[in-house]
Each structure stands twice: as structure tokens, then as C-alpha cells.
Amino acid sequence: MNHPEKLAFKFIANACGIFTGKLGTRVLCDPWIVDGVFEGSWCHYPPLTTKMSDLKNIDALYVSHLHPDHFDERYFDFDKSIPIIVLDHGPNFLIKKLTALGYTNLIRIKDKETVQFKEFDITMFAPFVTHNFHEAKIGNLIDSAMLISCDGVSAFNANDNNPTVAAAQSILENYPPVTMAMLNYNAAGPFPSCFDNLDTAAKKAGHERVLNRNFAHMRDVVATLKPKFVLPFAGAYVIGGRLHEKNDYLGTTTWDVCAAWLKKELSTDTQVVTLRENDTFDLSRGESDRPYQPINVADMKRYIEENLSTLKYPYELDAVPEEQKLRSDLEIASQRMLDRMKRFELESSFHVVLKAFGKRLQIYPKFAEMDAASMADLPKYLECSMDEKLLRQILDRKAHWNNAEIGTHISFFRQPDFYEPDLHTSLQFFHL
């Protein structure tokens, strides 16, 4: 494609794509290309033809945050001097990681700060809220959003940092008009697919409920922000491997479903845009370089069954851990999690019980072995179970609880059926 009149976006997959300015400067966003992030389970559909080597002819990178569908460390092998645009805010695990990997040219942009990079003006935004739909003390710490503009044409790339309606109003009032809003429409995570206290009907209902909630929030943000175009963006994945049957109950869907809902429900003149791999949308002209091809859901299910279902997760290749050593380390990790929770002033009314080798071990609020009678005495509990090999990796920091949870590797049973975001944040501290 020739240089755009002002600004164009080439979509690759999920949150990955390339902005091109009027002088040809190319900024690559959040490169995740190879299947198997989130401890092995997240995969692309449609399958990609793009290779990492195809993404090296760029002028800069934007990495929104540390989650592996945005920063895939396995294949992050760019030139160490390449400019990397990052949010400079708070306890920044991404900056620490990139620095440790030897990247020397970080363009650090503070919250609501605007800097110039070649023909682009780039503004960064810290997390707008701890959680868009639930009360949370900590919640979102790591995400960022970017407003990138060239000669008066702009794209607001929210990634996983969806703004509140109030934040959208602030952007509308304090920045030039947004030409295209790129907004997340999915609820990536374990609910409802991993909650065994729900039957099939309840999981289906939960799937519909969270999607309609997210779609409605997206509609309200668009109505406030008033962009010319909106692109359903980020959070597009399917589950491969032995857990592939959980695809039917994820809090996700295709961007086609989201686009159809928005076209019906939006009261503004905003045009809904959908793109496939390597489609390029010229924001100046308001047109794509080729006709859009909708996703065939039957083909997607067939591809998952015939191709992705055979994928092996990295931890499945490990030896079974030694039971007594695992049990003693679980007790240590339980105490360390409690210490970290106290440091952040976090607490929960739930008891947390972990199943391992057929036994139940309470890991919060104190470590204890549980039997049927003691379980029956718990007024509120969250029971967690996973492959012991994965649990061993989490304890040893070779895997991460949050990644395992998002990757649907952990099954839950909660009584009552009530979500405490800060409890799930606290479980990220569960390791040695």
C-alpha cells in the first residue's frame, strides 16, 4: 500500500496492527503472532499467515502492557535499539522486563502526556478505572491506552484499558476529535467457562450477560466520544488444547457479533469497521483496501476440533511433582500471599481452598487441611483446582496464576456465586 493521505491502520490479529503515517512511518502495536500464550491455551482464529519476520520493517513499537497477548516474550526479538513506546506510570513491570531484556530506547510517556514521534503526536493514558463493572481496590494496574494522530486524523487504541464514559468525555473535551476508536468488546478470562458451580444453561446465560454488558458499555463510550469510526478490537482468541471445549462458554465472541450489535444499537453516525488479517483501513479516506470477509463460525469450530484441540500445553510435558514437597511449598506460598495482601490492605470474606493430589488445602485466610466436615462449615468459599504440574510452575514462578486463570487452566467452584475482583488479584501473589 502507498502512504496514506494522513493515517492508516493495518490489522494483524487481536491487538496487533501497524499504524502508518503520511510520511510512511510505521508503528507496530502489541505483536502476538504465535499460538500458545497464557500458559499454552490461547490461539488465533482465523489462523495467521503473518510471521514475526514480516513485522520487522517498522520504525517503532507500542507495547500496551505485560499480558502475553500484547507482549509475547517468547518471540519478542526486535533490534535492541528500536524505539519502544511505553506508559511511564506506577509500578511498571513492563519497563522492568524490557530493560532486563536489553532494550535501550524506551520512549516513556507519562499519563496524559503528549510527545511527538516523527509525524505522529502520541498521548498515553494510564488505567482509567480499577474495574469497569465491579468494585475493586486494586484491579487494573498494568494496562495503557494510546491516542495517535497525524495531521489532525487520530486513532484511540484502548487495548484492554477501556475508558469509562467519564473518561471518554474528558478525552472529547481535552483532545482533538477522535477519528477512529479501537475498543475492546470481550471479557477475556475464566468466567463463565471455568466455574463448575454453574451448569451448562447458567454458563450460556453468563456468556450472554457479560457480552451484552460489554457491548452496552462500548455503545455508551462511542456515544460520548463520537468518533467517525469504531473498530471492535483486542481480546479476539480461541482456546486450543485439551481445554478447547471451554470455547462454548467464554465471555467472548467474534468481532462480527459485536459489530452487528453496535450497528443496531448505536444512535450516532459512527461507522462500525471490521477488519481481517492484513486489511488496511485508511482513516483519512474512511475506507479499507479490500472487501471484508466475515468469519465463518462453522469453519472456526471445525478448525478448533481438527487442528487446535491436539495442542499440548508446556506444563503438560513436565514430570509430575513430588507430592510432599508441593504440599510444604503450598503452605509457604499461602503465608507469603497473606503477607502481601496485608501490605496492600486486601482482604476477603471468602475462604480459598486449593485441590491438589485429591486433597483439599485451605490457603486463605490461613493454611489448613480440609475434610468434608470442615468444608461444610465454611460459610463462603472459592475452591480452585488445576493440573499439579501447572501448580508447581506457578509456585516456582515459571508460570503465573493470572495467566493460568485467563488461559482457562484453573477451575473454580464458588459458594455463593459472587465475584470479588480483589480476591482474584490477591491470588496472583500466590507463589514462592
pLDDT computed for residue 133 by the predictor: 73
Summarised one tens digit per residue, pLDDT across range 159-183 is: 999 999 999 999 999 999 999 999 9
Question: 349: closest CA among 389, 378, 371, 377?
Answer: 378
- For the stretch 193-225, pLDDT in tens is 999 999 999 999 999 999 999 999 999 999 999
pLDDT of res. 134: 75
Averaged pLDDT for residues 322-345: 97
pLDDT at 138: 74
pLDDT band with cut points at 50, 70 and 90 for residue 132? confident
Q: How far apart are CA 398 and CA 315, in angstroms?
A: 10
Is the model's pLDDT at 1 over the cut of 70?
A: no
Q: What is the mean pLDDT of the chain?
A: 96
Q: What is the DSSP string of 295-325?
A: --HHHHHHHHHHTGGG---GGGGSPPPPHHH
Q: What is the pLDDT of residue 157?
A: 98
pLDDT digits (tens, 9 = 90+) for 362-389: 999 999 999 999 999 999 999 999 999 9
**Is the pLDDT reported for residue 107 higher than 80?**
yes
Look up residue 53 and give its three cell numbers.
Answer: 519476520
Across 402-424, average pLDDT = 96
Residue 256 dihedral angles phi and psi, to the nearest 5°: -65, -40
Q: What is the pLDDT of residues 263-277, one digit of tens each?
A: 999 988 999 999 999
Summarize pLDDT for 13-40 with one digit per residue, the tens: 999 999 999 999 999 999 999 999 999 9
| Global pTM value | 0.96
pLDDT at 329 > cutoff 70 = yes
Give the Cα separation of 175 and 383 in Å (integer).
46
Q: Which residue has the cell 493514558?
A: 125
Q: In what order do the strands lie in the sheet with 145-150?
A: 114-117, 120-125, 145-150, 153-157, 180-183, 229-232, 271-272
Q: Of all helices (H) and strands (E), which one includes residue 98?
A: helix 93-100
pLDDT of res. 54: 97
Helix runs in 226-308, H state only: 255-265, 297-306
Residue 367 C-alpha cell reads as: 493454611
pLDDT band at 130 (very low <50, low <70, confident <90, very high): confident
Q: What percent of the chain has pLDDT over 90?
A: 94
Structural domains of the chain sorted by starting position, each given as residue range(s) with its CATH number in brackets:
7-308 (3.60.15.10), 316-427 (3.30.1050)
Dump pLDDT digits (tens) for 182-198.
999 999 999 999 999 99
Confidence of residue 136 (pLDDT cuts 50, 70, 90): confident
- Percent share of the chain, pLDDT over 70: 99
Residue 69 in grid coordinates: 497477548
Stretch 331-346: mean pLDDT, rounded? 96
